[in-house]
Structure 1
């Protein structure tokens, strides 16, 4: 590891949590250069929903390369892009009655967020954007402005301009009992001409805040937000970069609320871990002029090929049922761990295949992650204070891998508890 310490920037992060050199991966297992296996509950931070080196995806990519398929065409028409668009429309969007146009943007999620914010401001001719407490939307300056965690901010960046932070669901009282309704509060601000709050162009929201600590918005809150946006002529932007692509059991995380956002940002697993980001928008707000928003790597053909192949899993509802069943198993095990360690675990939160164990004890979840790594499990922390241990395994994880990983997590929590209390 000395080479990385000497030559790679100090900004590197996950290498510090998982200090080994990985050389091989398959579905939800990775191996390092010593041959040690690790069950992957990290899942590329949500970019590997379809697992490592899925056989069908791998075969499709190899075939494309061997026939000298076009690798980068910017936004020219290619057969790879044609097939991806066709598959996304016919398998995902049309069956859900979602009439969206597709914009391919730069290769990462933050590029999609930047594009969505820029489009909302252009369409509504208003500059203000609203985001929420504990939000995470990326690190380029526009996306960083709507990201909540102050760890990523610096006054020199100048990013807070034209962004208002509002309380996420249950922000004031995580129990959800008798608390202020933040949507009612926002509506009061925006309907009162003397409140000092100007009407925003758009409101950007994660239906489940992953990096923010696995905070799950209620269906009622999301529906009220959607209605307020419609009533007040505000564009609703759903950031589905981490919790979309099947993570909640449905392909889109907002399906459970029965809403249809004006704009949706998608990345990470849409390219199966290969760089691709897209913005979905209602056709009537596609007000771009040709070339007005551009970028060299908005046409990653390998990601188109991989993504179209991955979407074949959604041809029936079997994959969705598998996700729900695995998620129920994770929830059961997480709640059992919390029951066993009531003095250290304060909450269990999640939905589908994204779950978190929260602890109010300083560094306890970091200790769990450390103990898990020693035992052959990759599990990261989330939340502003790393107070949540996060489950984000590939959706394709086998029963054997899932059981083994949960057993290791059990042992790791016990070990962390013993060290903390000893």
Structure 2
């Protein structure tokens, strides 16, 4: 029996990515991943954004192996450890202080949805209000509180009613025909709107799972102004688009906003190890001891690699490299839209999370499958799976980036040729 057949026979039907990438992976290094047959794939998936610094980063691996071999602490809940202390001090010195940010660090359970759940609980405690405003096409996790925030119907199924959230239109949801900031403010200011002032607004600056919809600087600044005007707390979910994905460490830096809570996970550990945290403004850090906890909120192995990952951010060099690669991606994607006019498509996203939205149903999925056959891992996103999404490791070199983009272009061409044959 093959290894892949074992997966089909033994693993739950809930499995998903193995259906898109039907092979058994064995090794990985940098931006490349290899299956048991020795086939090489360029990785434009990067663990759904959890591997910004690549697979088995040698800097992180060295520190991790040394830590393990010295019998240092692995599990500690939220007890004090040397590894945790080093991470917090380093994060404060390298990330927060240079940006003039003052936050307390709250370690939640090890996944992104744990961070979101903690944020929701805290804003409700601080304000005494229940409702949360989220946005169309949002995705914030798969536990019940997070499910209620999601926009995609398929990702809202929880088996029970999902309450205490109100969905408002994201930036440009109606195109240029309607200013969604004015729309939101009208609901907030009108006592007859049926919408009470919420505890918080939660948003993604780029909706990774929602189809790479990117909020403008003006819209983000406008949301913050509304939050301050109506004494609403602002949560920014940085779980997929933070840790450098857009060029700056935080995706909201270019807008100059100051969220009350920032949710981080995925690439915060640097190595793909489970880790999640919330950055909380000190004035709202009103938790009682143990009020929100979790057995695995102290992953010391992740602290080690997360601390080493911050070495990429001690100066502006890495940020500039990301921005240069983002320009390459954008240029190639724009060229593809003009080369293949038979299938209407538009470029979405920014930084190193970009993609192409197709008007033909199922076309993005076809492109993903064709790319897989040719040695490129790339996934789809959007409420109808209409977007092909590029999230390569940030450390990918230009050669690897161009090679992956070439496979993507070839895959699109093949899928278009197949469409012609079907007509």
TM range (shorter): over 0.9
For 2:209, the equivalent position in structure 1 comes to: 211
Deviation at 1:50, TM superposition (A): 0.5
For 1:153, the equivalent position in structure 2 comes to: 156
For 1:168, the equivalent position in structure 2 comes to: 170
Deviation at 1:153, TM superposition (A): 2.5
Contact 1:116 1:237 in 2 (8 A): yes
For 2:414, the equivalent position in structure 1 comes to: 415
Q: 1:62 aligns with which of 62, 65, 72?
A: 65
For 2:137, the equivalent position in structure 1 comes to: 134
Give SS of 2:361's match.
coil
Moved more, 286-295 or 183-192: 183-192
Q: CA–CA distance in 1 between the matches of 2:158 and 2:258?
A: 36
For 1:361, the equivalent position in structure 2 comes to: 360
Q: CA–CA distance in 2 between the matches of 1:72 and 1:257?
A: 38
For 1:201, the equivalent position in structure 2 comes to: 199
Q: CA–CA distance in 2 between the matches of 1:304 and 1:274?
A: 9
Contact 2:87 2:307 in 1 (8 A): yes
The answer to whether 1:15 aligns with 2:10 is no
Q: CA–CA distance in 2 between the matches of 1:300 and 1:401?
A: 32
**1:339-366 deviation digits (Å, cap 9, x = unpaired):** 1112313210121101010101011111
For 1:53, the equivalent position in structure 2 comes to: 56
Contact 1:26 1:51 in 2 (8 A): yes
For 2:378, the equivalent position in structure 1 comes to: 379
Give SS of 1:131's match.
strand
Q: After the TM superposition, which residues 7-406 of structure 1 pair with which residues of structure 2 at under 5 Å, given as runs?
A: 7-154=10-157, 156-159=159-162, 161-173=163-175, 177=176, 179-272=177-270, 273-406=272-405
Q: TM-score with structure 2 length normalisation?
A: 0.97
Give SS of 2:75's match.
coil
Contact 2:147 2:157 in 1 (8 A): no
Q: What RMSD over aligned residues (CA atoms) do the two structures have, in Å?
A: 0.8
Gaps of 5+ in 1: none
Q: CA–CA distance in 2 between the matches of 1:193 and 1:395?
A: 47
**1:148-184 deviation digits (Å, cap 9, x = unpaired):** 110123373222x0100000000011xxx3x211111
Contact 1:270 1:276 in 2 (8 A): yes
Give SS of 1:156's match.
coil
Q: CA–CA distance in 2 between the matches of 1:90 and 1:151?
A: 41
Deviation at 1:404, TM superposition (A): 1.1
**1:83-133 deviation digits (Å, cap 9, x = unpaired):** 100111000011001110000000000000000011110100000000000
**1:241-289 deviation digits (Å, cap 9, x = unpaired):** 0000000000000001010100100000001211000000100000100
Q: 1:155 to 1:102 in 2, by over 3 A?
A: closer
Gaps of 5+ in 2: none
Q: CA–CA distance in 1 between the matches of 2:215 and 2:391?
A: 18
Alignment size in residue pairs: 417
Give SS of 2:170's match.
coil
Q: CA–CA distance in 1 between the matches of 2:243 and 2:265?
A: 9
Give SS of 1:253's match.
coil
